[in-house]
Structure 1
Amino acid sequence: MSQPKGTTVDTRVTRVVDGDTLVVPLGDREERLRLLCLDTEESNPGSDKPITPWGRRAKEEAERFFPAGEPVTLEFPGTEDLDVCLRRYRDNFGRLLVFAHRGDTDFQEHMIRTGFSPYFAKYGHAEFDDHRDRYVTAERAAQAAHTGVWDQVTVNGSEMRNYALLGTWWALRAALVDDYRRRRAVDPRLLDTRLDYEELQRLAAERAEVTVFTELAGYTRVGRHRAVVGIGSRAQPFALLVPDIESEHGRAVLSLLDDRYLTADDTHPRRSYAYVSGRLHEFRGAPELTVGTAAQIRDLP
């Protein structure tokens, strides 16, 4: 039996998109949900991940668990008021980030225990210790039974995803997020570029000096001398501006990003997360932070 720890709201499932994505009505709109701590294999085109037989089975399992019209309790990974949660907890594409429960059953735990998904901690462990403990226990049970994603040959015919490598990378990322959460509890001035995006917008209007904790997803050259480093989010388009990539300092910034932080693909994982200090400004309504030297990008604040 699972008991939600975060803010909750009850609704009904409109449809299942795949094993980790649902559509529900909330208020006067339909919301697409990205279920936390799950990463089922793909059942639909449009992703850089392969469509697999087990991905189709994961979607079927979600449809069995949540038939259209089925009541569902959504739990946010925080305890703020609902209106704050609806703004704060969204993924890179604007989907709500929630845990889904049917009655006393935690859907995430069910999918992990039955091998439809690994415990997905790429963006941090489950916010609540109770959830984390249950999900780790569920994953260990699935691995001990050698079932689902842990037996790729049986469910897919061959290895479609290297979960040993992915799990090691996710564990590194989760440890970095855990460390940030501990530091943030002591120093609330350390801002997360996704969760604190609204606050960063306000501070950018003031051209404030800040230290942020952020994912670094890649950079794009702009014109002859500049580069923009993104965090991988369309919904929270925070960016770093490297003003002169032809200078010694600018080249050092890009080299540090390439060699220490940026993950080009799953086979070459790097840290992904960093603390970045500097002055904010606005660019087309979005907060941007100027990085002139490599010393502004650090593993620790």
Structure 2
Amino acid sequence: MRAVVRPLVLVVLAVALVVGIAVVVRTTLAGDGPGILGSGGSGGGPGESGVVTRVVDGDTLDVRYDGREHRVRLLNVDAPESVRPDHPVECLGPEAAAFLEELAPVGSEVRLEFDVERQDRFGRELAAVHAGDVLVNAELARAGLGTVVLFEPNDRYYDDVLDAEREARRAGVGLHAPDPCAGG
């Protein structure tokens, strides 16, 4: 009996594995979830596709969707200030804004994905911004032009941005360079 059960269990496990892979591939191709490529908070979920109309600073941009313009604050990353009224321009603030414009230039299509709370106290939408397959929020941190920040309860993209910031620290780039503000 045991000799019959063992091959049967292996067949059942193989079928379950194939079915599971098929579901993940279908989900990925249909765009219904994070699929194979997603990690933590890198894909799927409720969102909107729109067109960038303006880069405000290193962590804020305007996106047109649903027939109107929305001010969008990148989730889980904070860039140095470059346009805040009554505040000086901070070290690497203009560079962060220029880098965001490279990643999501005016006229480009982006996908916004939201977490628990969709707006901050200033009425800006809080979102992960995807330009193609790139999570812009994490790339800003990876370049050393933004630091990880937690806007509780919105932690869906926190780990992605934290990992990117750790890469920037190890590489000593941007804000993590030995003297990032020398000469500026």
The verdict on a shared fold, with TM-score over 0.5 as the criterion, is: yes
C-alpha contact 1:31 1:96 (8 A) present in aligned 2:
yes
Q: How does 1:96-107 map to 2 (within 5 A)?
A: 96-107=125-136
Q: Give the C-alpha shift of residue 53 in structure 1.
A: 4.3
Percent identity over paired residues: 33
Q: Deviations over 1:132-189 (max 9, x none)?
A: 3322221111111222112372x3228x9xxxxxxxxxxxxxxxxxxxxxxxxxxxxx
Partner Cα distance (1:15, 1:112) in 2: 20
Offset of residue 112 of structure 1: 0.9
The equivalent position to 2:181 in structure 1, one of 156, 165, 171, is 156
Number of equivalences: 145
Check the 8 A contact 1:125/1:132 in 2, yes or no: no
For residues 141 and 125 of structure 1, do their structure 2 counterparts lie closer, same or farther at Cα, with a shift above 3 Å needed?
Answer: farther
- How far the C-alpha of 1:125 sits from its partner, in A, is 6.9
TM-score, structure 1 as length reference: 0.44
Matches within 5 A, 1:203-222: none
In the alignment, what sits opposite 2:7? none
**Secondary structure of residue in 1 paired with 2:148:** coil
| 1-structure distance, mates of 2:121, 2:133 | 29
Aligned residue for 2:123, secondary structure, equals coil
Residue 129 of structure 2 aligns with an amino acid whose one-letter code is A
2:55 alignment counterpart: 16
| RMSD over equivalenced CA pairs, Å | 2.2
1-structure distance, mates of 2:46, 2:124: 17
2:163 maps to 1:124: no
2:179 aligned with 1:140, yes or no? no
Q: RCO (CA 8 Å, sep 6+): is it higher in 1 or 2?
A: 2
TM-score, normalised to structure 2, is 0.70
Partner of 2:139 in structure 1? 110
Q: Does residue 91 of the first structure (1) align with residue 110 of the second (2)?
A: no
Question: Which one of 71, 77, 85 corresponds to residue 115 of structure 2?
Answer: 77
What is the one-letter code of the residue matched to 1:139? E
Distance of 1:67 and 1:103 partners within structure 2: 12
4+ residue segments displaced more than 6 Å: none
Q: CA deviation at 1:126?
A: 4.8
1:54-85 deviations in Å (ceiling 9; x for gaps): 1000011111111111000000014xxxxxxx
SS state of the match for residue 61, structure 1? helix
Per the alignment, residue 52 of structure 1 pairs with 90
Q: C-alpha separation between the residues in 2 aligned to 1:139 and 1:7?
A: 26
Contact 1:52 1:156 in 2 (8 A): no
Q: Which runs of 5+ in 1 are unaligned?
A: 79-87, 161-301
Separation of aligned partners in 2, 1:17 and 1:107: 15
Taking a change above 3 Å as real, the CA distance of residues 102 and 144 of structure 1, as seen in their structure-2 partners, is same
Distance in structure 2 (CA, Å) of the matches to 1:152 and 1:95? 34
1:4 equivalenced with 2:4 (yes/no): no
Separation in structure 1 between the aligned mates of residue 175 and residue 158 of structure 2, nearest angstrom: 19
Structure-1 separation of matches of 2:86 and 2:146: 17
